[in-house]
Amino acid sequence: MKCQDISIKWLTQNPGVYLMYLSETLDQILPLVRKPGRYTGGELHASVKDWQEADVRFALVFPDLYEIGMSHYGLQILYHILNAGDHTLAERCYLSLIHI
């Protein structure tokens, strides 16, 4: 079965297959990316919360590259303050190099 033949709904109902699909997709895309760490997540001290349990969700969007945004103290302070609450969730987003 090819990646294109699998529906997203079916994948979410079959987590084992979803992980294989995700792995296959990443294997195809990441070799083409100069700095994959910009897109894969898992940073030190990153907050991981369940989206369904958060009453309020924030997207903190920084208008520059990942490396610049991650070193911006204001963004880091907001991210940690928002994620310290039990009912709030914040994620960080950055521009990709192609958009600059």
What is the tens place of the pLDDT at every residue in 26-40? 788 777 777 766 666
* pLDDT attached to residue 7: 63
Query: How does the average pLDDT of the chain come out, rounded?
Result: 80
* pLDDT attached to residue 52: 87
Of 62, 66, 37, 60, the C-alpha closest to 47 is: 60
* pLDDT attached to residue 56: 95
Q: What CA–CA distance (Å, rounded) separates 60 from 79?
A: 7
pLDDT (average), residues 50-69: 90
Q: Which ranges in 36-85 belong to alpha helices (H)? A: 37-40, 66-70, 73-84
pLDDT (average), residues 48-62: 91
Other CB atoms closer than 10 Å to residue 100's CB: what's the count? Answer: 8
Residue type present at position 9: K
Residue type present at position 38: R
